[in-house]
Amino acid sequence: MNNLLALIPALPLAGFLILSLTGRHLPKSIIAGIGAGSVSAAALITIFIGMQFLQSPPTGNAYTQTLWQWMQTENFSAGIDLRMDALTLVFVFIITFVGALIHIYSTAFMRHDRDYARFFASMNLFVCSMLLLVMADNLVLMYLGWEGVGLCSFLLIGFWYETPANVAAANKAFYITRIGDTAMAIGLFLLFRELGTLNIPEIMTQAPAHFQPGASNVTWIALLLLAGGMGKSAQLPLQTWLPDAMAGPSPVSALIHAATMVTAGVYLIARMHVVFQLSPVAMAATAAIGAITLFVAGCSAMAQTDIKRILAYSTISQIGYMFLALGVGAWSAGIFHFFTHAFFKALLFLAAGAVIESLHHEHNIFRMGGLKDRMPVVFWTFLAGAAALAALPLISAGFYSKDQILWYAWSAQNGNPMLWLVAIAGALITAFYTTRLMIVVFWGDMKTHIGERPGKAMTIPLMILAVLSIVAGFIEWPHNLVHLSLFSDLVQRYLPETLLQEGHPPEIIFQLVAAAVTLLGVYAGYVLYYKNTSILEQWKASPAMLSLRNFFYKGWGFDDLYDTVFVRPFYFLTRINKSDVFDLLNKGIATTSQRLNEWFSFSQNGSLRWYVVGVLIGIIFVLGLQIWG
């Protein structure tokens, strides 16, 4: 069993190596077979290991496999060691299973692309890196995976590199996540200085004894790790790269920028939960960042017109919910939302990709419309995903996970009514913009002619994901309805149990309020965009509403803010330092050697007597040393 563990990341790695070395000469069918096959095989192995894990839990609740020693110094060692516990199992399952579906979809989606092999090589490398990230036994190996997924994200955002805007988006994603990565690296250094180890199980056991709860050193470590998570998971204030990252192909958006990589921050916090629990400040900061992000991103999503940017902002917003859950101490709820979100957001991106491709690469939702009857498969699957995103009560997976978070936002140990209020407002906004998206895209008049319809390889993954978007929530029911909590039982083998405050209101009230708010949001969208569009026309006429809409459209002006605060001063500095001061040093070395060469080449004049004089002066000097030395 333990030996199978290494196969999971090794298969995509092998796929990457084969495709990157020989992909140029292979026919597309074989490339697709290798690319999708390696990830699918990894998914099958994962399911097999998962069954074993559930049936007969191993000792210590984790499978481990030591491959080899990576680096070893006097008091530090890091190995290529893999570890599979409950938390890892959830992530590995999502990465390989959803990843396999997305790869199968991509075989059809990318079929006309020139760089077919490069696409699948990058995707396989991504899956391998992401698996290393979640399966790593120590934080150094995890950091390797962490940087690997960042690299693959960069490569795939800029996949169509002929367009300068795509390259700019890739650079932006790389730079901004780098800020978080640097913070995380510093956090790891601090952690090593304090504990002398970066092995995760050792940290889990040593940290409570070593740190005083609430001490400044552990707070700094937790905050720096949080900053790393914020960069990767596109949380405020490092969220601006994700909407631009939609420049990549749709399957990339589905796999990297919705289902897996952007939730690496969630994984990091859950994995390091012991450190975070020791620091109330970091917990509060996590919850606050999640709450603010989900609201800000939700508002931005309402005003977007590009179908993928709407979904990108909704991704930021949903990850905000996960951060909120982790921050209030509802560990399993946060991971459960990740679980359901991976299904429905991957589904939405893939369905959006199918729509975009059928409509000749049209991204603007207001030039779509009327697709309900013409693309029924896409419509019904998109509807399932949208229902889960809006968290329609009882019939969607999103309801079960989001309802938990809303309840815990008030009643968990670190929760408070303010957080709940922001979260419920976010739920209203989510329902509203999801309804707007559905109505504008699928109802009304057809504005763009449909080209090629999606084939079976694209629709079957959509249908599987649609089914999962509905049924994935049924494994974890609210406590007051049905006593079924398979998911939290599983993850609580690693994560601590969610503690509740004293004297919280009964859960049923929250569920009713959440359901009512969701339905209210759906109704508002229905009224504004379908039944009574004249209200919207009136709003468009008023300048106040229009400027608010523009403000939301620009994502609360964060790009302009950063432009003013960071980019312009930097340009100013570069302008005043046009004749680079530091270059003078380098140029000085070159000029000095050139001058010396000119001077000394005068001495090499070919005259024998001149040379003899040189020797003579040397002898006089040496003898002079003898005399006076």
Q: Give contact residues for another protein (rule: CB under 8 A).
A: 597-598, 601, 604-609, 612-613, 616-617, 619-620, 623-624, 626-627
List, in sequence order, every residue forming a beta bridge with 65; answer none if it has no partner: 82
Cβ–Cβ under 8 Å, residues 556 and 463: no
Give whichever of 576 and 608 is closer to another protein, judged by the CB atom: 608
- Give the integer Cα–Cα distance in Å for 540 and 566: 33
Give whichever of 29 and 604 is closer to another protein, judged by the CB atom: 604
Q: Based on C-alpha coordinates, what's the Rg of the chain?
A: 29
Half-sphere exposure of 371 (CA within 13 A, CB side): 32
Give whichever of 482 and 617 is closer to another protein, judged by the CB atom: 617
Give whichever of 546 and 620 is closer to another protein, judged by the CB atom: 620
Give whichever of 541 and 608 is closer to another protein, judged by the CB atom: 608
Residue that has been written with the tokens 């092995």 in this structure:
199
Residue 601 beta carbon to another protein: minimum distance, rounded to whole angstroms: 4
Residue 12 beta carbon to another protein: minimum distance, rounded to whole angstroms: 56
Give whichever of 73 and 604 is closer to another protein, judged by the CB atom: 604
- Give the integer Cα–Cα distance in Å for 518 and 528: 15
Residue 615 beta carbon to another protein: minimum distance, rounded to whole angstroms: 10
Residues in Cβ contact with 398 at an 8 Å cutoff, skipping those fewer than 6 apart: 340, 341, 344, 387, 388, 389, 390, 391, 392, 469, 473
Residue 589 beta carbon to another protein: minimum distance, rounded to whole angstroms: 19
- Give the integer Cα–Cα distance in Å for 503 and 497: 18
Of 274, 323, 338, 265, the C-alpha closest to 93 is 338
Residue 592 beta carbon to another protein: minimum distance, rounded to whole angstroms: 16
Where does 450-506 have alpha helices with state H?
456-471, 486-491
- Give the integer Cα–Cα distance in Å for 511 and 482: 14
- Give the integer Cα–Cα distance in Å for 9 and 124: 9
Give whichever of 72 and 604 is closer to another protein, judged by the CB atom: 604
Of 504, 459, 452, the C-alpha closest to 479 is 504
Residues in Cβ contact with 503 at an 8 Å cutoff, skipping those fewer than 6 apart: none
Residue 309 beta carbon to another protein: minimum distance, rounded to whole angstroms: 59
Give whichever of 570 and 610 is closer to another protein, judged by the CB atom: 610
Residue 611 beta carbon to another protein: minimum distance, rounded to whole angstroms: 10
Of 158, 159, 81, the C-alpha closest to 113 is 159
Give whichever of 44 and 623 is closer to another protein, judged by the CB atom: 623
Residue 597 beta carbon to another protein: minimum distance, rounded to whole angstroms: 7
Of 212, 363, 201, the C-alpha closest to 278 is 212
606 φ/ψ sector (left φ>0, alpha ψ -120 to 50, else beta): left
Give whichever of 68 and 628 is closer to another protein, judged by the CB atom: 628
Residue 604 beta carbon to another protein: minimum distance, rounded to whole angstroms: 4
Pairing of strands 77-84, 63-72: antiparallel
Cβ–Cβ under 8 Å, residues 518 and 393: yes
Give whichever of 55 and 604 is closer to another protein, judged by the CB atom: 604
List, in sequence order, every residue forming a beta bridge with 459; answer none if it has no partner: none
Residue 143 beta carbon to another protein: minimum distance, rounded to whole angstroms: 51
Residue 623 beta carbon to another protein: minimum distance, rounded to whole angstroms: 4
